[in-house]
Amino acid sequence: MTQAQTDENIRPAPGALNGLKVLDLATFIAGPYCATFLAEFGADVVKVELPGSGDPVRKFGTPTECGDTLVWMSEGRNKRSIELDLRSPEGADTLKKLAAEADVLCENFQVGTLEKWGLGADVLQEINPGLIIARITAYGQTGPYRNRPGFGRIANAFSGISYLCGEPDAPPASPGTATLSDYMSGVYAALGVLVALQSREKTGSGQIVDVGLYESVFRILDELAPAYAYKDFVRERMGAGTVNAVPHSHYPSKDRLWVAIACTNDKIFNRLANLMDRNDVTGDGIYGTIAMREAKRAEVDAFVTNWTTGLTRDEILKACEGAEVPCGPVYSIEEIFNDPQYKARENLVEINDPRLGSITLPNVCPRLTETPGQISWAGRALGADTQDVLKDWLGE
């Protein structure tokens, strides 16, 4: 079990980013997740929050007896919290002093907000030319929509992924979670920060990392853009199916559970058909090529379903594993907590929090062999570290 540090000893644990100083001015998920990623690998991340209320994510999600939600306890991990009103002259002045000592600053206010407070990128980088500023907004810092507000759901819709989610004859659906674009944008922003740090090693200069919420999801939609540009192809909703591969979907089992099967080429389909004792449909048979199977997608899916419904989920998984057919269970979170693979990889970490006691969080990703990240503590109480941070960073 990973143990949280005590209130008297909240300091970043040694890691690959040890010594890196990060100011997290952002709220909710996208910008803060960028800072969280850096904190997991040893950066000293100071969460700057509005006095009295703090980051709104403290009230977003499942409430706990400590007053903060489980979302905050997870995503506020490894950060020290200070209260600072950036709208006041005193707060702005303190931030400038902190920025002079920082390596990275993360923010996701609407475009122009920091500038309105006299804390724009030009001001901060004049104080500290090596400062890297990660800015995440709904639509980025430029373009005709730059002033529009937005959250993850809006970004998912604008990116094109929501249009693809759901059944063909049903309305567009959420891609599992409305916060997909928030987390994806946080990852891309963190990647941008690491690239900017590498550049600073050569030039000594900081720069701005500019991410629009929609851009991170749009970037991962495989051939969606080139397929439209090349052949005017507009991909439509396909439910659990996908383009360019059949069978490649979710299939029910005899015990009313679900499995995912992915036959991405003819060779893998041949293995599945052999497992089903139906080699007659492969090669020169009616389902022998991807093109032939795509032309009869519904028929092929029904063909596979007829097989899977005759077996339990465990029987399907065992058979497919033996035949080297990619297959996996469609899990609920309850099943994830009981799965030996998750346990072996320590994907779930139990933290001993001074306010809540035992709390389980998703572990750090990615996994590094020599300088692994870690969770040292869960989200802190609002302003719990103000005096320590001012002393550590400014000597006050």
Beta-bridge mates of residue 304: none
Report the C-alpha dihedral over residues 327, 332, 337, 342, rounded to 10 degrees: 30
CA dist 354 and 371 (Å) reads: 27
Residue 167: C-alpha distances to residues 164, 174, 242, 356 (Å)? 9, 12, 12, 41
What is 196-252 written as a DSSP string? Answer: HHHHHHHH----EEEEEHHHHHHHTSTTHHHHHHHH-------TT--TT-SSEEEEE
The span from the CA of 46 to the CA of 25, in Å, is: 9
The two beta strands, 21-24 and 44-49, are: parallel
Catalytic residues: 182
180-203 helix and 152-159 helix, angle to the nearest 10 degrees: 90
